[in-house]
Amino acid sequence: MASGPFLGIYSSRRLSLLGLSTPAVAQHITDGRLVRIRPGWFHDSSAHADAIEAARLGGVLTATSGSRHHGVWTLADDKLHVLVARNASRVRPERIRSREICLHWAGGPIEREPPVATPLQIVLDSARCQPRHVAVALADSALNRGLLRLEELEVAAPRLAGWCDGTAESGTESIVRVGLRRLGIAVRTQVQIDDVGRVDLVVGDRLVIECDSAAFHDGYTSKRDYERDRELVRQGYLSLRFKYHEVVDEWPRLEALILEIVRADRHRCRRAS
Residues 121 and 142 reside in one and the same domain: yes
Q: Quick check: is 162 in a domain?
A: yes
Q: Quick check: is 93 in a domain?
A: yes
Instruction: Give pLDDT tens digits for 155-183.
Output: 999 999 999 999 999 999 999 999 999 99
Q: What does the mean pLDDT of the chain come to?
A: 91
d(CA 223, CA 189): 24
Question: What percent of the chain lies above the pLDDT cut of 90?
Answer: 82
User: Which of 122, 144, 166 marks a domain boundary?
Assistant: 166
DSSP per residue over 88-135, as a string? -----GGGSTT--EEEEE-SS----SSSB--HHHHHHHHHHHS-HHHH
Residues 233 and 177 reside in one and the same domain: yes
The number of distinct structural domains making up the chain is 3
Instruction: Give pLDDT tens digits for 30-87.
Output: 999 999 999 999 999 999 999 999 999 999 999 999 999 999 999 989 999 999 998 7
pTM for the whole structure: 0.89
Q: Quick check: is 131 in a domain?
A: yes
Residues 80 and 34 reside in one and the same domain: no
Residues 84 and 31 reside in one and the same domain: no
Q: Quick check: is 118 in a domain?
A: yes
Q: Quick check: is 55 in a domain?
A: no
d(CA 48, CA 37): 13
Host domain of residue 241: 171-268
Instruction: Give pLDDT tens digits for 199-209.
Output: 999 999 999 99
User: Which of 166, 186, 212 marks a domain boundary?
Assistant: 166
> Mean of the pLDDT values across residues 100-115?
91
Please give the pLDDT value at position 273: 46
Question: What percent of the chain lies above the pLDDT cut of 70?
Answer: 90
User: Which of 113, 134, 166 marks a domain boundary?
Assistant: 166
